[in-house]
Structure 1
């Protein structure tokens, strides 16, 4: 990718079997920002620049995305589980000299952050989740017409190469559908950043990785969430949950109730914008993150 977050240095850091691309800047309390679909670490460019004034900020590309490695999935579907991806992030921060850090994630990155909070609670001081709920809760909630708006969850999770072959026919149309349709303010993702997202999404191995990521959430991630729910595992750190204000649309779930079931120390807010909160309302996201991690 040609675009970078100004003031950040870039490193490719081995984390076990893969190498992650990471943008790093600042000094102070460590904060990690994880992107979602169909984006890269650049989605955090405004928030990261603000936090780096007085925090050590790390913005990685998740495995399978951006300039990070894109390994092929295995027969058991474990390569892109959120458990595997969460371990990547904990290993990454240890390589950078930090055993404990605040973690924020949007969309797919939010699922990785959630799993890190459960699997690596000692490493996560504060947790922020933007506009996503756990896989187990999402699959339990989706029914009826709600599936129309979440069609990609079903499509990308198919256990064959059908979605990969179909997306390859016109990846810019497919990924652009989400970049455009999930925004309320198109100017918040300028043309050059949109082009970066599309280029990353069509890179060799990227489409296969995205499908493996979503396939993991439909099967193994769902199983992991339900196993934790069954034994009463909860998030033990302070948790912030932000989501887009749905306006007149009726959601098939109550985000506050969902997160209250997982976290005792919880603060929440709905933000008037589209899905990409950190790009449409970086001021709100920065304020909420600072209130969480600097409390």
Structure 2
């Protein structure tokens, strides 16, 4: 992947050893630390449209999650533990500590947002602020998986099937599968929201067999250990002790039905937020609108 375009000119690159393996991260900007976490099936490159503006006020740390992009893909565990959001969150905390940040804010999309809110629950006092983009909590997704949601979020069930079924199906034509996935989750139902250079990064990562396996393990963890962790926190009454911002696309799962803020209040008493006109990939479909919500929240 060395011939891929650099979408973060002036940023530094780092490799940090963690219990989840070696994590790749970019850093740039100045000011309070802000950890930016990507989702499925992308890499940290997804922040390229928003990073220049955020770097004016914050020191950005933009890693690839374990199993994605240029970060190591941990060996799958018997209970999918290495791909739990708890384990991924621990790795991200170690990355931030290595770079000198004991306390920090997080802005995160999709699977990365699940890692972000898990950090908030598992590491009280670490987060100054948390912004989650276009997700509902894992427990809310599974507990309200009706026919309409299952038809849209079919990948939750498909990717969580036992190895090697989904890996084999995807591996027959990964370019088709991931391009179709990216396009079908946008409001426009095509790839026009994605910079071709960023798309090349996503394709390069998604076409590697070990990373296809890692993405499936991510969802297997979501259907098992991640759900268990959510349910344990709900039962114990544990909540996130910092302000939380939720932003979601009007054309995707959180934008349908009841307000996502209702679901988030179970974990985040101090939550606010609003929708933007977009599908799932809000940071690339509507970066200006997301920044308009995020920048004042971070400055609060």
TM-score band, normalised by the shorter chain?
over 0.9
Matches within 5 A, 1:163-178: 163-178=166-181
Contact 2:104-2:127 within 8 A present in 1 as well? yes
Question: 1:46 matched to which residue of 2?
Answer: 49
Does 2:297 correspond to 1:277? no
* 3-state SS in 2 of match to 1:167: helix
* 3-state SS in 1 of match to 2:56: coil
Contact 1:72-1:208 within 8 A present in 2 as well? no
Q: Which runs of 4+ in 1 moved over 4 A?
A: 247-250
1:206-263 deviations in Å (ceiling 9; x for gaps): 0000000000000000000000000111111000001001399983553121012221
1:165-202 deviations in Å (ceiling 9; x for gaps): 11100001111111111123543202232122111111
Question: 1:32 matched to which residue of 2?
Answer: 35
In 1: Cα distance, 2:61 partner to 2:210 partner: 24
Which among 200, 213, 220 is matched to residue 208 of structure 1?
Answer: 213
Does 2:291 correspond to 1:286? yes
Question: 2:96 matched to which residue of 1?
Answer: 93
In 2: Cα distance, 1:160 partner to 1:24 partner: 35
In 2: Cα distance, 1:8 partner to 1:120 partner: 28
Contact 1:142-1:252 within 8 A present in 2 as well? no
Q: Give the stretch that moved more between structures: 11-20 or 266-275.
A: 11-20
In 1: Cα distance, 2:162 partner to 2:175 partner: 23
Segments of structure 2 that go 5 or more residues without pairing to the other structure are: none
Question: 2:204 matched to which residue of 1?
Answer: 199
Compared CA separation, residues 28 and 60, structure 1 to 2 (3 A): same
In 2: Cα distance, 1:46 partner to 1:202 partner: 24
Matches within 5 A, 1:124-143: 124-143=127-146
1:92-132 deviations in Å (ceiling 9; x for gaps): 00000010000011000010001011001211110000001
In 2: Cα distance, 1:248 partner to 1:224 partner: 22
* 3-state SS in 2 of match to 1:235: coil
Which among 202, 223, 227 is matched to residue 222 of structure 1?
Answer: 227
Structural RMSD (CA): 1.7
Compared CA separation, residues 75 and 130, structure 1 to 2 (3 A): same
Does 2:170 correspond to 1:156? no
* 3-state SS in 1 of match to 2:162: coil
Equivalenced residues, count: 295
In 2: Cα distance, 1:57 partner to 1:124 partner: 15
TM-score normalised by the chain length of structure 1: 0.96
TM-score normalised by the chain length of structure 2: 0.94
Question: 2:79 matched to which residue of 1?
Answer: 76
Which among 145, 148, 152 is matched to residue 145 of structure 1?
Answer: 148
Does 2:80 correspond to 1:107? no
Which among 3, 6, 30 is matched to residue 5 of structure 2?
Answer: 3
Compared CA separation, residues 90 and 248, structure 1 to 2 (3 A): closer
Question: 2:262 matched to which residue of 1?
Answer: 257
Compared CA separation, residues 141 and 247, structure 1 to 2 (3 A): closer
1:135 CA drift (Å): 1.0
Compared CA separation, residues 183 and 200, structure 1 to 2 (3 A): same
In 1: Cα distance, 2:33 partner to 2:183 partner: 32
In 1: Cα distance, 2:19 partner to 2:99 partner: 14
